[in-house]
Amino acid sequence: MDEEVLQQIEQIIGYQFSDRKLLGRAFTHSSAVDNRLSSNERLEFIGDSILALVICQAIFDRFTSYLEGDLTKMKSMLVSRRSGARIAKQLGLQKFLKVGKGMSSSRALTGSLAAGLLEAVIAAIYFDSGFDAARDFILRIFGPLIDKADAEQAQGNFKSMLQQYSQQQFDVTPVYGLLDEKGPDHHKCFESEAIVAGRHFSSAWGTNKKEAEQKAAFNALVELGILEEGLMDFESD
């Protein structure tokens, strides 16, 4: 990677490297090298952990009234491949990523590869100047996303999230099907599924129809790759 390109990248990310080799490695995908140890994969590993720690501390300090479950849901929305890829795309970083033949037109360049690239850049800054520099970079680029992480999302309004995504991506509104109900009238449980553009997602049970639909929406978001598993510690309201 030549000097001019490295300078362009530094200008975009707002950080100047002491060791430019770190920056070059961060922008080298495993498909472009014979030895994967020369790629950005190991940097991604570190960058992912640093990103999670910085975001966790930031939302812990900022949202002092949120319980552990709320913070976990918010963190999972912020520290996701989708969010990382979106930021990398906004910065235009993926166009500098060195990839192997046949990869330059891959959709992954704006998805998982872009997210991994951002994590590698975070790690490169960390190794070049330490944790404080990496934290400053993360907070600067993730600041707008943190600002938009409102209470409704943090508290698990998965139906709203699924509706917004479905309308943006498929121009349709999700529908919910009631599949089953069990128990006596005073203590029923309901099973619902979310359906988006004809696709049926994993069903879920709830103590009322609203809770079942919220959980079904969550399953759909997980299967669509919008959220990660392990966030189901929420109650219906």
Catalytic center residues: 48, 119
Dihedral of the alpha carbons of 154, 160, 163, 165, in degrees to the nearest 10 = -20
DSSP output for 175-225: EEEEEEEES-GGG-EEEEEEEETTEE---EEESSHHHHHHHHHHHHHHHTT
Give the residues across from 193 on adjacent strands. 177
- Three-class DSSP category at 28: strand
Angle between helices 41-62 and 68-78 (to 10 degrees): 140
Cross-strand partners of 194: 176
Q: Would you list the DSSP string of 98-137?
A: B--TT-TT-GGGGTHHHHHHHHHHHHHHHHHH-HHHHHHH
Helix, strand or coil, per DSSP, at residue 27: coil
